[in-house]
Amino acid sequence: MRVFGPGFGGLTERSFMHLKTVIIVKMRELEEWVGGPNSPLFSRLESIVCKYCPLLSSFSFLECCTKLCQLYISNCPKLSQLPPLPHTSTLTYF
């Protein structure tokens, strides 16, 4: 799988709107996690853990995660830059 987002596994945008925690580990082919600007897809996310995804280069939806309070990224060497995080005051772990 190269892209994670709507359409993955037959899931719709509505399916993603209810997620509070996402853990992605050892997805060696994952290149992009999509959501789009001003997208409500991941607006309820409180926690993201992403480890050992060597090709991942984009988290384009992070600026829309207004409830995000935990963000853990490890061993994702191509993910060299994150988009603006306007709600960083809510983060408890980075």
Which comes out higher in pLDDT, residue 1 or 25? Answer: 25
Q: Which among 22, 9, 4 is positioned nearest to 72, based on CA atoms?
A: 22
**pLDDT tens digits along 44-56:** 889 999 999 999 9
Mean pLDDT for the stretch of residues 8-26: 79
pTM over 0.85: no
Predicted confidence at residue 6, as pLDDT, reads: 57
Domain coordinates of the chain in residue numbers? 3-90
Q: Which among 48, 89, 81, 43 is positioned nearest to 64, based on CA atoms?
A: 43
| Dihedral of alpha carbons 85, 39, 11, 45, sign | positive
